[in-house]
Amino acid sequence: MPPVGRRTVLKFVAGGVAGGVAWATLPWAQSAAIAGGKRPAATVQDRALTLSFDARLHTSLASAGKSLTPFQASESLLLADGAVEDFALTGQHELALDDPRHGAGHQLIVTGRSSRGIEKRVAVTFFDRLPGMAVLQTRYRNDGVAKLEVAGWRNGAHELAEAPGGFWSFSGATHTDRRDWVQPLKAGFDQRNTLSMDSSDYGGGTPVANLWRRDIGLAVGHVEPVARMLDLPVRKTARGGSIAVESTQASVLEPGQTLVTERTLLAVHTGDHFAPLQQYRQFMQAEGLQGPKPPESAFAPIWCAWGYERDFNVEQILATLPKARELGFEWAVLDDGWQTNEGDWRIDKRKFPRGEADMRDFVKKIRAQGMRPRLWLAPLAADPGSDVLHEHADMLLLDQYGAFQTVTWWNALTQCPAYQPTIDFYVALVKKIIGDWGFEGLKLDGQHLNAVAPCYNPAHKHAHPTDSVEGLAKFWQAIYDAAHQANPEAVVELCPCGTAFAFHNLPATDQYPSSDPLSSWQVRSKGKSVKALMGDRSSYAGDHVELSDGREDFASSVGIGAVISSKFTWPKDTDHPTAPLPPGGYVLNAEKEALWRKWVDLYKRHMLPKGEYLGALYDIGFDKPEAHAISKDGSMYYSFYAADWNGPVQLRGLGQGRYRVRDLFNEADVGEVDAGSNTLEVTFKRFILLQATPMETRA
């Protein structure tokens, strides 16, 4: 981030000022907890979080009267020589706020000065509607006579002490190895969690990281309305666990110049990562970022032809459709392989000899089976040998050395999403797919869809190289708008394979899948994360059940309220797999058919994606067995997961009166409970799915 130019004014006051008064006279100013035996020089708090500054502008945290951290160098200017600039407190001021977006709140501004003549100002803002969440922004101004070589800055840096049971963490950043988003902090745990590119085609994510103990947790992130290339490091330390927001953007701070950090969040919470992600969503919704309300069809079960892989033939797919419809699947997705290459997106005439006429006919045959057609597409990728790569090389995203950025899966090159000809090309393609060919949905697929690197292509005349980074969300919005202009009920699915979903792409997404999960744990933990970030404004899908544990774990999708999908083949597998098929293949044998039918029926009977996912009731890290709860139509639904469980489970969140509890998969009553006596003894392997239904009260 340059010290001067794009962002030169610190927004110390988030909204209108109701009045500037001495902080001690305000009604929320109280005696703060004393951390490490040191009395604070300045304090700001709400009912859930207290943040105190000492005379060096280090901060400590407290919650509910309990000290959480000693004074630590939480907001820091990082210097190129490895030093961390230190400051002496020179002033403080507190304001009452009435923000037009976030409502009532209050803000503390503290000022300090370093021995080099650097002035530091930290603004800490609380909003009444988001208890326990502070928004921080720091300004550094060089009032000295010498330039300052800056390596970056750090906000919200805190270390929580070790506690029995250790720590769990959530990372919203993308990692090339597609690791779990939710992990325990074992010895040696150290994740940089960069929101920049982790490799040529993996990067970005949701700008929040979180660590929590059994009793308390801390979350940090940034709350800017566009993507930023910051880091959210989380690591296991000798004394506990640490977390921060960091910029590694080097710059030179000349005398008189100012460096301003991004707006960052710091939140304290109990339970797992669900509550702070939910608060982040609520804050960003007020900033104008929220998902669209998806069409009803976004909750329908999905059958995808990917079981036949790229070397499919049309007859295979058409022959499978009656079986898919019979089982209750309502979407039919034509996956990778219909096109000549990634880039030109022309129809492969070996499969569709009459080109577009055959594609329109194919769509009509899907509809004739009572199903909805969806088409796979991987925008922003151009294969070597494609005409678009040679005729429109100007579309390519180039780094500062003029080198291409690659999409590894297809051995393709990345196109720049912030270049208008690129946008125009894909908008025209989408209008053809939806408006002309007749598809009712898009499956936008590929790990490169989540984020892109800064673009230095001189043909694009970007105001700043990060225009590509910030412009990706606008590209997806153009795609979304084109699809919905062609068909208002179209479903746009964004599947950034294996990546942590980029929150800033949310407004252009009707459906987000678990995106090539590596396990059932990923289906469930991603689901909990995405539901916190999306609420009821989008549809989360469990992706192909064949990617789950045992390749048949519908329970992980159904139990958390995820849309179900499958890529089964029928009556046999493909004869030309690109890799060895798993044992038994993907063919729908009689045993699988009975199981698939049972789960589809159960899913459609209860439609849990349309319920309210109550993520704050259970801690996915510390509660055993793992538990999830959904409220729908007066009933409570609970799903529990463990390899082998024989013992009590607690049904939290019940209302008044008695409830009859039924095991839905095994179709058996298992007892009665109420809010005061909500524990049942159960035995299960892998999962149990319970429905608690209010019992009739008799006069």
Q: Are residues 661 and 539 in the same domain?
A: no
pLDDT of residue 407: 95
Q: Are residues 101 and 201 in the same domain?
A: yes
Using 50, 70 and 90 to split pLDDT, how confident is the model at 84?
Answer: confident
Residue 405 is assigned to a structural domain of this protein: no
pLDDT of residue 440: 98
Per-residue pLDDT, averaged over 596-620, amounts to 97
Q: Are residues 138 and 218 in the same domain?
A: yes
* C-alpha span between 422 and 381 (Å, rounded): 11
pLDDT of residue 38: 66
Q: What is the pTM of this model?
A: 0.93
Q: At what angle do helices 467-486 and 420-431 cross, to 10 degrees?
A: 20
Q: Are residues 85 and 176 in the same domain?
A: yes
pLDDT of residue 16: 32
Looking only at the bridges linking them, the beta strands covering 511-513 and 539-544 are parallel
pLDDT of residue 39: 75
Residue 404 · residue 414 · CB < 8 Å: yes
Domain boundary among 232, 252, 286: 286
Using 50, 70 and 90 to split pLDDT, how confident is the model at 366?
Answer: very high
- CA angle (575, 580, 581) in 5-degree steps: 70
Residue 502 is assigned to a structural domain of this protein: yes
Q: How far is CA 435 from the centre of its chain?
A: 30
Q: Which residue carries 């951290």 as its tokens? A: 69
Domain boundary among 234, 257, 286: 286
Token pair belonging to 291:
């998902």
Q: Are residues 239 and 362 in the same domain?
A: no
Torsion-angle region of 694 (φ positive above 0: left; ψ -120 to 50: alpha; else: beta): beta
Report the number of distinct structural domains present in the chain. Answer: 3
Q: Are residues 163 and 104 in the same domain?
A: yes
Nearest to 566 by CA among 320, 315, 312: 320
Q: Are residues 151 and 250 in the same domain?
A: yes
Nearest to 283 by CA among 224, 202, 362: 224
Token pair belonging to 225:
């309305």
Q: The CATH number of the domain where 674 resides is what?
A: 2.60.40.1180
Residue 635 · residue 693 · CB < 8 Å: yes
**631 CB-near residues (< 8 Å, 6+ apart):** 611, 612, 614, 637, 653
Using 50, 70 and 90 to split pLDDT, how confident is the model at 19?
Answer: very low
* C-alpha span between 94 and 577 (Å, rounded): 66
Residues 246-291: tens digit of each pLDDT: 999 999 999 999 999 999 999 999 999 999 999 999 999 999 999 9
Q: Are residues 275 and 363 in the same domain?
A: no
Residue 380 · residue 415 · CB < 8 Å: yes
Per-residue pLDDT, averaged over 617-644, amounts to 98
* C-alpha span between 631 and 60 (Å, rounded): 38
Q: Are residues 193 and 314 in the same domain?
A: no
Token pair belonging to 391:
């005729």
Q: What is the 3-state secondary structure (H, E, C) of 600-643?
A: HHHHHHHCHHHCEECHHHCCCCCCCCEEEEEEECCEEEEEEEEE
Q: At what angle do helices 590-606 and 314-327 cross, to 10 degrees?
A: 60
pLDDT of residue 684: 98
Domain boundary among 286, 308, 335: 286
Q: Are residues 490 and 546 in the same domain?
A: yes
Position 239: which residue type?
Answer: R
Residue 386 is assigned to a structural domain of this protein: no
Q: Are residues 242 and 173 in the same domain?
A: yes
Helix, strand or coil, per DSSP, at residue 425 = helix
Residue 395 is assigned to a structural domain of this protein: no
Neighbours of 284 (CB within 10 A): 20
Give the structural domain span for 309.
Answer: 298-378+429-447+476-611
Residue 416 is assigned to a structural domain of this protein: no
The H-or-E segment that residue 358 falls in is: helix 356-368
Q: Are residues 231 and 359 in the same domain?
A: no
Residues 552-590: tens digit of each pLDDT: 999 999 999 999 999 999 999 999 898 899 999 999 999
Residues 60-73: tens digit of each pLDDT: 999 998 999 999 99
Compute the 3-state secondary structure of the chain and give helix, strand, coil in percent, each to the nearest 5. 25, 35, 40
Residue 417 is assigned to a structural domain of this protein: no
Q: Which residue carries 């502008």 as its tokens? A: 57
pLDDT of residue 55: 96
pLDDT of residue 31: 35
pLDDT of residue 538: 79
Q: The CATH number of the domain where 571 resides is what?
A: 3.20.20.70
Q: What is the 3-state secondary structure (H, E, C) of 55-91?
A: CCCCEEEEECCEECCCCECCCEEEECCCCECCCEEEE
Nearest to 452 by CA among 430, 429, 482, 475: 475
Residues 287-325: tens digit of each pLDDT: 999 999 999 999 999 999 999 999 999 999 999 999 999
Using 50, 70 and 90 to split pLDDT, how confident is the model at 151?
Answer: very high
Residue 423 is assigned to a structural domain of this protein: no
**How much of the chain, in percent, has pLDDT values that exceed 70?**
94
Using 50, 70 and 90 to split pLDDT, how confident is the model at 15?
Answer: very low
Distances (CA, A) of 238 to 19, 156, 185, 189, 190: 45, 19, 12, 11, 12
Residue 470 is assigned to a structural domain of this protein: no
Q: The CATH number of the domain where 212 resides is what?
A: 2.70.98.60
Token pair belonging to 509:
């997404």
Per-residue pLDDT, averaged over 442-465, amounts to 97
pLDDT at 465 over 80: yes
